[in-house]
Structure 1
Amino acid sequence: MDTSQAGKILVLGAGPAGGAVALGLRRIGYSVCVISEPRPFAAVEGISERVVDGLRGAGFDAALKSLPAPTPRSVHWSGESSAANTERLVIRSEFDRGVLIDLERNGVELVSGRVRGVTRGDDGYRVEVVADSGSRTLQGIFLVEARGRAAPGSGLERLRGPETLSLLQYWAGPEMTPRTAVQSCADGWAWMAATADGRRYLQLTLDVASADLPPKDRLVEHCNSRIRPLEMAAPFIDGAEPTGELHARTSTPTLCREPVGADWIRVGDAAMAVDPLSGNGIFQSLSSAMQAPAVINTLLQQPQRAGLARAFHRARIEELFFRFARIGRDFYAQETLFAEEPFWRRRRDWPDQAPIHQAVKPRDVSIARRPVVENDLIREAEVVVTPDQPLGIWHLQGLPLAPLLRALRSARPGENPEHLLAAVLGEKKALAPQLLMWIRHQGWI
């Protein structure tokens, strides 16, 4: 497939989602330009090893080098404390520089500046970018919106969860062993982090409707008065003092109902943003972006499959959103000390009562045609659909599963199921026992 003459694709935003899409498009052969501007404040995030694996799979080699070793993580929730987990503290300014290095090494054009306007004409998109050196206009055939929660709404329909606000305050103190902590309180929860150089990051997440926040000039005092009494805050504030401005950020879960069009796509937080409590911010951004290059490639190279490609991206974004939203819901429901407080009451039942994982019985399993990714394109294939996997499972270790399930369901009384699988597998018949065990474990038969 020759994509070299297809024209330039413009990516707005150089976070994990925008970067992953850009790297994926370059691997296919597209010309890509990423427009981004530095973060307006110093941000830090805690990520799990699953996120590290996802970043590695996306090709973020230089960005990964900025990650420190895992640090201890303590949790005080519903009156109980635990310290069994770890997380890595990501200094976003360092990580973001690594992402830009990865993009440049892979042939992505980088433009630094603020997007002042986006217009669409018969010949594609024009994006006006403003920087210290002046303004310039970039042109492309396709637009990737990856500016996170700050991305303009463009009049698109959105589903919003309970309105949530996070207040971030920096502290400075003596050097200490890096660590993080989470603690619930009556009106929300706090996340605290400390790096080895004495920097502390204390964030309080509140319900907008019930927070009763004071005027802006008293926000720092209010935020610190809520954090100081917390048991888990002591190691972070002992000998330390607040420094710099307090930053307010929206943390409201948001789903864009239409995240893709004929010549544009939204990924990452611009498509769906989850509650930070789930701890999956970067992971969900990557999840929504990794298969976007195949969607874009299909829209550009096989417009006859445009409807299929859009349906694939839309369904995937919605499935990811509700999965992560339910993870957050169940974690909120575990807090029983403050269950009747407005913050917790609004979140323990949202977005619904559907379980994260549903029991699978053979009668609930079906074979259907669904969009899948193959050779950097979206096409339709037979997949196995279950209550726990509504988008379907296409293959396992490269082996299509629908033919295997169909063969097992055709079994006559007394017929050996391993023999049925072996007949379908042909040269790979030695895998029949292993596959049969896996299928039974899934509850398909």
Structure 2
Amino acid sequence: MTELSIAVLGAGPAGAAVALGLRRLGYQTCVVSEWRRFAAVEGVSQRVLDGLRQAGLERALASADAPTPRKVLWNGDGQSINQECLLDRPRFDAAIREDLYAAGVAVIEARVLRVESSADGHLIHLDSGEPLRADFLVEARGRQAPLAGGRLRGPETLSLLNQWQESPGRPGSAVESLADGWSWMARLADGRCYWQVTLDANSGELPAKDELSAYCARRRGDSVLVRRLFGDVALQPASLHARSSTAILFHEAGGPNWLRVGDAAMAVDPLSGNGIFQSLSSALQAPAVINTLLQCPERADLAQRFHQQRVEQLFLRFARTGRDFYAMEQRWSEQPFWRDRRQWPDAEPLHTPPDFGQVRVQRLPVIRGDLIDEAEVVVTADQPLGIWHLQGIELAPIVRSALRGELEPVLVALPVEQRRMVQGWLLGQGYRP
């Protein structure tokens, strides 16, 4: 039996980001993962590339293709005003492993059969034979992670991914709304083609499993964007992989000796935001949380609260973003697919208008160095978890002075550039002298 300090289950972006962060903190870390069982491609934005760079996933970052134009046909309007970088997931996943190897992180390619957990640690049974023993466990297996514990689920959603091969050509991607869902499609320069349709999982219109491939081919034949992006091969049945796209938020994202990150903590609707970005968003904070749980157990409640609050807040932001995108499609607003998703998860606005009268100072958990600590932060309607610093300037003392009507002496003491930056931030929060 191999003794390990920390085991990370899953070598996707979230698991790798946590493992690299823990390695930098000096922890002995092992990543357990099996290879992806199906080919896929994803379109990512610049903020995803920035997140990969921040996580230290340089080889994974380099595997992204150059930006290509993305066509959008939504609510009857056609646009081609933005770009996305296409990621070949098998190549991307292999690059992640190279980043882990280069950092000295042990990687075991195996399938996890089951995990036995207790207050003393975790026993991880693998299909490769010998079990692993870990003091701390990071669950990063995405949607494949065991669905234990209470959770919030959005409308049941199914995505059908099709792949086929055409001649090499110009890459590109597109997205379009449909009467009962929406589709995303991409063509790589080497001629590999992908088309994914996202539908209500409970729809009575879906055919039997063995008829899905032909069903998808017929639907592609009705799409103007498909005919523009692909050749005639796109109108034929293709290989198919079905997967759940239901939004899920776990009410318990961590404990004294375990933590959920990425899709294993919160999985969002694919329209809500790029999955890689949300995975990195929760994973980049995890090393400080784990370090606190192991080095400062007296702060365990604080560290767990910090992680849970940020997971929940990230989830709500992504879910509300998706809700607003769904609401933009007006043609089929009363169809079940669109009706259910334009109202979920709530009616709260994605962004709240600034109101300095609602700004307050509160003590909340923050990342201080490599640990979770408590500090005075500024809470606003749009930032309920608080803002500690503005480019190195602590905001709480400034806001307290503004609330007392004594801001001028504080601003005068700042260098000119910092003063202008603070003034701009205050005005953005609705402050009026």
Aligned residue number for residue 321 of structure 2: 327
- How many angstroms apart in 2 are the aligned matches of 1:243 and 1:294? 48
Matches of 1:231 and 1:336, distance apart in 2:
20
**1:235, 1:244 → 2: CA distance?**
18
Q: Displacement, 1:239?
A: 2.8
* Distance (whole Å) between structure 2 residues aligned to residue 37 and residue 99 of structure 1: 13
1:420 alignment partner AA = V
**Aligned partners of 1:73, 1:430: CA distance in 2, in Å?**
38
Give the aligned residue type for 2:91: E
Counterpart secondary structure, 2:306 = helix
2:262 to 256, 261, 268: 268
Is residue 433 from structure 1 mapped to residue 388 from structure 2 by the alignment? Answer: no
- Per-residue CA deviations over 1:54-83 (Å, capped at 9, x if unaligned) read 111110111112111011100000100000
Identify unmatched segments of 5+ residues in structure 2: none
For structure 1, which runs of at least 5 residues remain unmatched after alignment? 1-5
Other structure's SS at 1:141 match: strand
Q: Distance in 2 between matches of 1:430 and 1:227?
A: 55
Question: 1:278 deviation in Å?
Answer: 2.5
After superposition, where does 1:124-163 map in structure 2 within 5 Å?
A: 124-131=121-128, 135-154=129-148, 156-163=149-156
Contact conserved, 1:115 with 1:129, CA < 8 A, in 2?
yes
Task: Provide the C-alpha distance between the structure 1 equivalents of 2:177 and 2:19, rounded to a whole number of angstroms.
Answer: 38
Query: 1:198-222 CA deviation, whole Å, 9 max, x = no partner?
Result: 1110101001122521111111111
* CA contact 1:408–1:420 (8 Å) conserved in 2: no
Q: How does 1:151-230 map to 2 (within 5 A)?
A: 151-154=145-148, 156-230=149-223
The Cα of 1:337 is off from its aligned counterpart by 1.1
- Give 1:231 shift: 1.3
CA distance in 2, matches of 1:243, 1:104: 39
Percent identical across equivalent pairs? Answer: 54
**Shift in Å, 1:7:** 5.6
Stretch moving more, 116-125 or 228-237: 116-125
Q: CA deviation digits over 1:319-373, x for unaligned, max 9?
A: 0000000000000000011111111011111111111100121111000000000
| 8 A contact 1:422–1:430 mirrored in 2 | no
TM-score of the aligned structures, taking structure 1 as reference length: 0.93
1:311 to 302, 305, 308: 305
Deviation for aligned residue 1:267: 0.3
How far off its partner does 1:380 sit?
A: 0.5
1:44 to 41, 46, 54: 41
Pair 1:419 & 2:416 matched? no
Displacement over 6 Å in runs of 4+: none
Q: Give the partner amino acid of 2:173.
A: T
Q: Look up the SS of the partner of 1:391 in the other structure.
A: coil
| 1:329-368 mapped onto 2 (5 Å cutoff) | 329-368=323-362
CA contact (8 A) 1:187 1:211 kept: no
Q: CA RMSD in A?
A: 1.6
How far off is 1:383 after superposition? 0.4
1:92 to 89, 94, 118: 89
Task: Specify which of 102, 113, 122 is matched with residue 99 of structure 2.
Answer: 102
User: What corresponds to 1:3 in structure 2?
Assistant: none
Q: Is it true that 1:240 corresponds to 2:228 in the alignment?
A: no
| Secondary structure at 2:155 match in 1 | coil
Alignment-mate amino acid for residue 201 of structure 2: V
Structure 1 residues 211-243: Cα deviation after superposition (integer angstroms, max 9, x where no partner) = 521111111111121221011111344232546
Question: Which amino acid counterpart does residue 193 of structure 2 have in structure 1?
Answer: R
1:212 partner letter? E
1:80 counterpart = 2:80: no
